[in-house]
Structure 1
Amino acid sequence: MKYAVSLLVAGLLSISLSTWGAEKQTVTMNLKSPQVTNGQSFHNQQIFNHWGCTGKNVSPELQWDKVPKGTKSFAVTMYDPDAPTGSGWWHWVVINIAGDVHSLTENAGKEGGKQLPKGARMLRNDFGFEGYGGACPPPDAKPHQYHITVYALDIANLDVDSNASPAMAGYYILQHMLAKAVLTAPTNKR
Structure 2
Amino acid sequence: MNDPFLGLQDVPAFHVTSKDIVDGKLMDKKFMSGDFGIEDGQDISPELHWTGAPSNTKSYAVTLYDPDAPTGSGFWHWAVMNIPASVEELSQGAGSSDNAKLPQGAVQLPNDARMKKYIGAAPPKGHGVHHYFLTVWALAIEKVEIPEDSTPAFFIFNTFGHVLARGVVNFEVEVK
Q: Which residue of 1 aligns with 2:164?
A: 178
| Contact 1:65–1:102, Cα closer than 8 Å, also in 2 | yes
Corresponding letter in the other structure for 1:94: V
Is 1:36 the counterpart of 2:45? The answer is no
| Contact 2:66–2:133, Cα closer than 8 Å, also in 1 | yes
Q: Which runs of 5+ in 2 are unaligned?
A: 1-8
CA distance in 2, matches of 1:28, 1:141: 31
Report the CA distance between 1:79 and its aligned residue.
0.1
Q: What number of residue pairs does the alignment pair up?
A: 167
The two structures have a TM-score, normalised by structure 1, of 0.83
CA distance in 1, matches of 2:157, 2:103: 23
CA distance in 2, matches of 1:140, 1:42: 21
Deviates more, 1:43-52 or 1:136-145: 43-52
Is 1:140 the counterpart of 2:126? The answer is yes
| Contact 1:91–1:133, Cα closer than 8 Å, also in 2 | yes
Report the CA distance between 1:127 and its aligned residue.
1.6
Is 1:151 the counterpart of 2:137? The answer is yes
Q: Which residue of 2 aligns with 1:7?
A: none
Matches within 5 A, 1:102-117: 102-117=88-103
CA distance in 2, matches of 1:115, 1:93: 14
CA distance in 2, matches of 1:161, 1:62: 25
- Secondary structure, in 3 states, of the residue corresponding to 2:83? strand
CA distance in 2, matches of 1:163, 1:60: 23
CA distance in 2, matches of 1:164, 1:32: 27
Q: Which residue of 2 aligns with 1:71?
A: 57
Q: Which residue of 2 aligns with 1:52?
A: 37
Structure with more of its chain in helix, by fraction: 1
Q: Which runs of 5+ in 1 are unaligned?
A: 1-20
Structure with more of its chain in strand, by fraction: 2
Who wins on radius of gyration, i.e. which is larger? 1
- Secondary structure, in 3 states, of the residue corresponding to 2:153? helix
Q: Percent identity at matched positions?
A: 37
Is 1:125 the counterpart of 2:111? The answer is yes
CA distance in 2, matches of 1:112, 1:173: 25
CA distance in 1, matches of 2:88, 2:45: 16
Q: CA RMSD in A?
A: 1.6
The two structures have a TM-score, normalised by structure 2, of 0.89
- Secondary structure, in 3 states, of the residue corresponding to 1:169? helix
CA distance in 2, matches of 1:62, 1:152: 14
Report the CA distance between 1:123 and its aligned residue.
0.2
Corresponding letter in the other structure for 1:98: P
Report the CA distance between 1:173 and its aligned residue.
2.6
| Contact 1:28–1:180, Cα closer than 8 Å, also in 2 | yes
Deviates more, 1:65-74 or 1:172-181: 172-181
- Secondary structure, in 3 states, of the residue corresponding to 1:179? strand
